Structure 1
Amino acid sequence: MKNNDKMKPAKLCYEHIGGKLGQLLLEALVKKGWLAKTDPSDKNLYITELGESQLTAFGIDLSQIKSQQL
């Protein structure tokens, strides 16, 4: 059994990862070029072609995400 004092939280907010882990994941995915924005001031991000290939290789089924105009 793991020691609870050393466990890091992975918070859920509705149906997404929130908290510090969510922030770090977002920053890493943007830095790797897997996610991007059409305009730096925009709140919306999109999955890049590189992101599609890498996330699919990671085992994520992107067909569950609906396409939409941003």
Structure 2
Amino acid sequence: MDELSPKILKAKSCYGHLGGTLGNRLFQRMQELGWFEREEDKATVYRLTETGKQEFSRLGVDFMKRGR
């Protein structure tokens, strides 16, 4: 079975965010591109980088907007 098979790339909504395999791969790719970086000494805390801010803005995503 191909690695990018739709059966493997499952996405799900998890507490209001994108989860599942697709969510994990998307976040991993954004880290690789330098959009997010891990905060020092914190295994699960990430910050949006300047590159990430620029790229999200370019895509029309208001990263400062909060809400559901």
> TM-score scaled to structure 2, two decimals?
0.75
Q: Point out where structure 1 has 5 or more consecutive residues left out of the alignment.
A: 1-5, 66-70
Range with bigger deviation, 34-43 or 19-28: 34-43
Q: Which has the higher helix share?
A: 1
Q: State the match for 2:58 in structure 1.
A: 57
Give the Å deviation of 1:46: 0.5
Q: Which has the higher strand share?
A: 2
Across the aligned residues of Structure 1 and Structure 2, the Cα RMSD in angstroms comes to 1.8
The count of residues paired between Structure 1 and Structure 2 equals 60
Q: Point out where structure 2 has 5 or more consecutive residues left out of the alignment.
A: 1-5
> TM-score scaled to structure 1, two decimals?
0.73
Return structure 1 stretches of 4+ with deviation > 6 angstroms.
none
Rg (Cα) greater in structure: 1
